[in-house]
């Protein structure tokens, strides 16, 4: 294929979506021409900003993001529909790139959300770019649903985490897919450098929201302490074998409700993605493991973006080698 036109599909995946930036840069550096994009959740955010010509500004802004910046962008709410309203994040993005109508973007773009009221997928191909992004990034239980007309919209990844079916194709183009919900990596136990032990998404949220959710955290902590004390009895610690058994049980049981929900959605998402890839085989596929980074690891922009760039270059090497 000589024209190198690319129909690009960007998956949902929280902070792992920063890998989309590196992947796009790799495509551009190697002379590929992105002619259309479809994205879900962070894929919609990155893809939409690229289609609007603002990805470089977003990339520059991301270099300044640390844990505290992520926390300050969380406009907490007391409703029972989610922790975060999302207005601060959208407002910050609008400061970087002004809102545009999707139908007027530089290239065709589609963002996917889920309407839980009507139980159906919603594909935004026209209207406000930021209305579409806000709807698509509405992670259930974290962001409040986004209301448009009679629709109650949540993260598009619930129904379509890899929206290959939504990207516009042109004759002879190359279908390039970046999946962020790939098979889990084995847990690293003996690594000595640059692989810090990552806390679970639940623990990260508890730490970051501690002051805001103090009463709830105290309740959870009391239950966890009670559980640990129960199994750390003298009888269980009498032999090395029993110690090892205890540590294994603790790792299996020391998971709270938020992490159970996250892992459950991960299993469902991976199954949907696997079936989607069988139905729509891409020409170039980049897969990043679901557990490579946690949902809120946005402060790790540089390494996540670099991972996307490296894996895209490797995928393009394979693709170009068989042409």
Which residues are part of the catalytic machinery? 41, 155
Q: What backbone torsions phi and psi does residue 278 show, to the nearest 5 degrees?
A: -70, -35
What tokens appear for 146 in the block?
Answer: 């986004």
Which candidate, 185, 179, 175, 120, places its Cα nearest to that of 153?
A: 120
Cα 32 to chain centroid, rounded? 25
In whole angstroms, what is the distance from residue 284 CA to residue 27 CA?
11
CA angle at 218 for the pair 216 and 222, rounded to the nearest 5°: 120
Cα distances (Å, whole numbers) of residue 64 to 54, 69, 70, 183, 236: 16, 8, 10, 31, 48
Collapse the DSSP code of 232 into the 3-class scheme (helix H, G, I; strand E, B; otherwise coil) and give the result: coil
């Amino acid at each position: 294929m000589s024209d190198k036109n690319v129909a690009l599909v960007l998956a949902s995946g929280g902070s792992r979506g920063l890998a989309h930036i590196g992947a796009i840069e790799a495509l551009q550096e190697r002379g590929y021409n992105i002619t259309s994009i479809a994205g879900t959740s962070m894929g919609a955010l990155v893809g939409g900003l690229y289609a609007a010509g603002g990805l470089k500004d977003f990339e520059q802004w991301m270099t300044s993001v640390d844990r505290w910046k992520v926390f300050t962008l969380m406009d907490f709410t007391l409703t029972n529909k989610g922790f975060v309203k999302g207005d601060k994040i959208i407002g910050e993005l609008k400061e970087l790139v002004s809102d545009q109508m999707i139908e007027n973007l530089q290239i065709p773009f589609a963002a996917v959300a889920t309407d839980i009221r009507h139980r159906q997928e919603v594909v935004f191909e026209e209207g406000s770019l930021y209305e579409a992004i806000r709807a698509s990034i509405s992670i259930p239980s974290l962001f409040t649903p986004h209301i448009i007309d009679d629709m109650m919209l949540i993260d598009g990844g619930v129904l379509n985490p890899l929206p290959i079916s939504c990207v516009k194709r042109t004759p002879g183009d190359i279908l390039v897919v970046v999946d962020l919900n790939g098979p889990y990596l084995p847990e690293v136990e003996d690594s000595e450098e640059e692989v810090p032990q990552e806390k679970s998404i639940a623990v990260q949220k508890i730490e970051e929201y501690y002051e805001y959710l103090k009463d709830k955290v105290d309740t959870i902590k009391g239950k966890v302490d009670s559980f640990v004390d129960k199994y750390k009895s003298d009888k269980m610690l009498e032999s090395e074998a029993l110690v090892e058994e205890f540590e294994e049980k603790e790792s299996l049981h020391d998971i709270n409700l938020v992490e159970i929900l996250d892992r459950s959605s991960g299993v469902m998402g991976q199954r949907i993605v696997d079936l989607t890839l069988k139905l729509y085989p891409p020409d170039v596929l980049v897969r990043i493991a679901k557990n490579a980074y946690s949902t809120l690891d946005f402060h790790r922009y540089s390494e996540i973006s670099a991972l996307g760039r490296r894996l895209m270059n490797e995928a393009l090497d394979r693709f170009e080698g068989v042409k």
